[in-house]
A = this chain, B = another copy of it.
Amino acid sequence: MPPEIYHNTISFVITDVARLMRAEFDRRTSGVGIGLTPGEARVLFSVSKAGPVRQAVLAERMGLEAMTLSTYLDRLEERGLLSRTADPSDRRAKLVSVRPEAEPIIQEILRIGAQLRADMSATIDPQKMEQLRQSLMQMRNCLIEMRPECPKGTSKA
């Protein structure tokens, strides 16, 4: 084992894991021929979980700016994976929902995600993994509360 070059602080390690994970996910999905980036997959998945949902609501729950989400939705809509329909109760708003064509892709993404998660934590006690998840969620909440626009009312994910 090489000498530790920098402190393995939580911050650095999390950054590393996030980056490596995204790269590996990308490798696996593109290997299977799914033409989605990890970010697109995440949005598609979230829409499928949220059912028809307003963009603003989805953005807030995903912790993204409305504009950021809008761009993702553009791409996913172009590929025919989801649709935007007018919200009958507010003509400004649009409801996003997945189209049937997306279902097999979503299933595949789920499968790949679960497999990656399993591979990545193969050497780790499941109970520890669950604790890790809990702690990370707590950290996320802390960080969300630190954001300048938070007092406005933003709170969870």
Contacts and interface: CB of A to CB of B under 8 A. Distances in A.
A62 B16 CA distance: 9
A79 interface: no
Interface in A79-110: none
A129 interface: yes
A128 interface: yes
A152 to B, nearest CB: 15
A145 B80 CA distance: 36
B62 A116 contact: no
A124 B135 contact: yes
A137 B13 contact: yes
A2 B156 contact: yes
Given A50-B5, A124-B138, A142-B123, A25 B11 contact: yes
A18 B27 contact: no
A149 B68 CA distance: 32
Given A10-B121, A128-B131, 15 more contacts: A2-B61, A2-B156, A6-B62, A10-B120, A11-B117, A13-B136, A14-B17, A15-B42, A16-B157, A18-B18, A20-B147, A21-B143, A119-B146, A120-B142, A121-B142
